[in-house]
Structure 1
Amino acid sequence: MHGPPPARVPASLLPNRAGIALSLAMAAALAALLLAMSRVPICACGHVALWTGDVNGPENSQQISDWYSFSHVIHGLLFYFFAHLLWRKWKLFGGRPALWALPIAVAFEGFWELLENSPLIIDRYRSVTVNYGYSGDSVLNSVSDLACMALGFLIASRLPAWASVVLALAFELLTLWTIHDNLTLNVVMLLWPLQAIRDWQGMV
């Protein structure tokens, strides 16, 4: 008698070489577009730092990483979740290997970086949040945010779903406690600004 059929191996959600090359090309295109938008390549302070922790300082959103980098890692966790739904649950393209899932995530993240550095969103941040002096990200910071998203996507591919949820919640609570801000509050304040939250954030 034949035994039970072997379990079907889930299609990979990680890119092949072509997908990686496309992701890198889009990251380079993002940098070029931001430069064309007259964004500063690096911090106006003239030096490059791996980390800046002063959320109200002039180097926030200008260096390689800051407290908001955690939000971009969460973006990657979320993008992986949506890729899982599209390819593994809803069988997008017949459930074939989702080699383009990361490039699509990079495209969405890149679009947000362009939008975030547009006068529309910069003015919105200034008018409804405590970031009165916000002037947008440096190109270095935007590309680093893109890399943080890709890191989150890769982490999610290695972790069980519950661990990704725990990690996202841990990052949200960490930044909520430390800087009175996180991805959730960022969305709330951009779409439905609340004065009570604005006052609380001003206490940092």
Structure 2
Amino acid sequence: MPSPALSDIRARNWLIVAAILLVQALALWWAGRNPICTCGYVELWHGALDSGNSQHLADWYTPSHIIHGFLFYALGWLVLRRRPPGERLILAVVLEAAWEVLENSPIIIDRYREATIALGYTGDSIVNSVTDVAWMALGFAFARRAPVWATVAVAIAFELVALYVIRDNLTLNIVMLVAPSDAIRAWQGAL
């Protein structure tokens, strides 16, 4: 029996990714998340540091999701190098979608409120959560095609720009969730 054509495999992979995103959206809906911002509209970019964060298609936390894609690509390359990139992308989408569902659970929302400067954080809208996974996939695709040095440079630039503009980034987010620091929280709150 002949093997399926590459285009058939790619189409199947994208259908699987779409199904994962649908399951993610339905899980968030079932958990009571708002489909869109309670403001009643969706912005392509929301740059203000207010209740609109994590409610629109992109905000200052979008670079951290792109970096997730870089990291998932690297992890897949290290651990699953013999598997096709499409399968590694599917696994990355599963992991990111699972994190998005967990991130929007009361236990993680409460942890953000306790440990970080996100005192008024109420969770993501469904559209933001699903696009966060899409941003991760974009980061995965970039890391797959770009030289390692370029991916590392972009990740560092994203982290430094976010640190400068909003005094937060993926690194600080992880630190504050795992081992909160009063000094970091005070510095972040001085913005």
Give TM class, smaller chain. Answer: over 0.9
Tell me, in whole angstroms, the C-alpha distance in 1 between the residues paired with 2:138 and 2:84.
20
Instruction: Provide Cα deviations, 1:157-184, integer angstroms capped at 9, x if missing partner.
Output: 1101111111111100010011000000
Aligned residue in 1 for 2:51: 58
Q: Greater helix share, 1 or 2?
A: 2
Matched, 1:70 2:63: yes
Tell me, in whole angstroms, the C-alpha distance in 2 between the residues paired with 1:47 and 1:97.
39
Secondary structure in structure 2 of the residue aligned to 1:99:
helix
Letter in 2 for 1:67: W
* Structure 1 unaligned regions, length at least 5: 1-14, 89-94
Tell me, in whole angstroms, the C-alpha distance in 2 between the residues paired with 1:134 and 1:69.
16
Letter in 2 for 1:19: N
Tell me, in whole angstroms, the C-alpha distance in 1 between the residues paired with 2:176 and 2:84.
38
Tell me, in whole angstroms, the C-alpha distance in 2 between the residues paired with 1:190 and 1:81.
23
Aligned residue in 2 for 1:119: 106
Tell me, in whole angstroms, the C-alpha distance in 1 between the residues paired with 2:175 and 2:83.
36
Aligned residue in 2 for 1:33: 27
Give the TM-score normalised by the residue count of structure 2. 0.93
Aligned residue in 2 for 1:144: 131
* Structure 2 unaligned regions, length at least 5: 1-8
Tell me, in whole angstroms, the C-alpha distance in 2 between the residues paired with 1:203 and 1:31.
35
How far residue 124 of structure 1 moved from its aligned partner, in angstroms, is 0.6
Tell me, in whole angstroms, the C-alpha distance in 2 between the residues paired with 1:127 and 1:96.
40
How far residue 153 of structure 1 moved from its aligned partner, in angstroms, is 0.5
**Would the aligned equivalents of 1:72 and 1:145 in 2 still touch at CA under 8 Å?**
yes
Secondary structure in structure 2 of the residue aligned to 1:63:
coil
Letter in 2 for 1:167: V
Matched, 1:167 2:154: yes
Tell me, in whole angstroms, the C-alpha distance in 2 between the residues paired with 1:172 and 1:67.
10
Letter in 2 for 1:161: V
Letter in 2 for 1:178: V
Aligned length: 183
Give the TM-score normalised by the residue count of structure 1. 0.87
Matched, 1:23 2:17: yes
Residue among 77, 80, 87 paired with 1:87: 80
Matched, 1:99 2:93: no
How far residue 128 of structure 1 moved from its aligned partner, in angstroms, is 1.3
Tell me, in whole angstroms, the C-alpha distance in 2 between the residues paired with 1:64 and 1:98.
26
**Would the aligned equivalents of 1:87 and 1:98 in 2 still touch at CA under 8 Å?**
no
Tell me which structure has the larger Cα radius of gyration: 1
Aligned residue in 2 for 1:195: 182
Tell me, in whole angstroms, the C-alpha distance in 2 between the residues paired with 1:159 and 1:87.
19
How far residue 123 of structure 1 moved from its aligned partner, in angstroms, is 0.5
How far residue 97 of structure 1 moved from its aligned partner, in angstroms, is 2.8
**Would the aligned equivalents of 1:76 and 1:152 in 2 still touch at CA under 8 Å?**
yes
Going from structure 1 to structure 2, the CA distance change for 1:22 and 1:132 (only over 3 Å counts) comes to: same
Instruction: Provide Cα deviations, 1:117-163, integer angstroms capped at 9, x if missing partner.
Output: 00000111111111111000000100110110000001111101111
How far residue 61 of structure 1 moved from its aligned partner, in angstroms, is 0.6
Letter in 2 for 1:63: H
What fraction of aligned residue pairs are identical, expressed as a percent?
Answer: 51
Residue among 36, 40, 43 paired with 1:42: 36
- Cα RMSD over matched residues? 1.1
